[in-house]
Amino acid sequence: GAGVSQTPSNKVTEKGKYVELRCDPISGHTALYWYRQSLGQGPEFLIYFQGTGAADDSGLPNDRFFAVRPEGSVSTLKIQRTERGDSAVYLCASSFLAGDTDTQYFGPGTRLTVL
């Protein structure tokens, strides 16, 4: 079946602008995760959803970052007033069930560049 998809694959924006990054999880997966990967680093957890609710948003760096998953499937990561330090690859992952450490399957990522 189809894997996790993310759009756009690349996003270039100017400092101070607002951006939205989209994630389509694997069909039937109830848990969805967002990570940020800076150059030369491993992915860092941002937020995870179980269904429609954000079960853990402890990884969001500040209140400029927000994510939603209104229907329990597609999720959007929103970044307000972007800063150059937000430049990174934003990865989305999904798993069939949260908890019980089900394996997370990752999308190809969105490369965000803030000029």
- Residues forming the site for other proteins (CB under 8 A): 3, 33, 35, 40-45, 48, 55-56, 59, 89, 91, 93, 95, 98-109, 111
In the complex, minimum distance from the CB of residue 73 to other proteins, in angstroms, rounded to a whole number? 19
Measured between alpha carbons, how far is 18 from 58 in angstroms, rounded to an integer?
Answer: 21
Measured between alpha carbons, how far is 27 from 39 in angstroms, rounded to an integer?
Answer: 30
Residue with token string 């934003």: 90
**Shorter beta-carbon distance to other proteins: residue 33 or 79:** 33
**Shorter beta-carbon distance to other proteins: residue 38 or 80:** 38
**Shorter beta-carbon distance to other proteins: residue 18 or 55:** 55
**Shorter beta-carbon distance to other proteins: residue 66 or 105:** 105
Measured between alpha carbons, how far is 95 from 115 in angstroms, rounded to an integer?
Answer: 33
In the complex, minimum distance from the CB of residue 103 to other proteins, in angstroms, rounded to a whole number? 5
At 112, which helix (H) or strand (E)? strand 110-114
In the complex, minimum distance from the CB of residue 59 to other proteins, in angstroms, rounded to a whole number? 7
**C-alpha closest to that of 64 among 19, 4, 31, 13:** 19
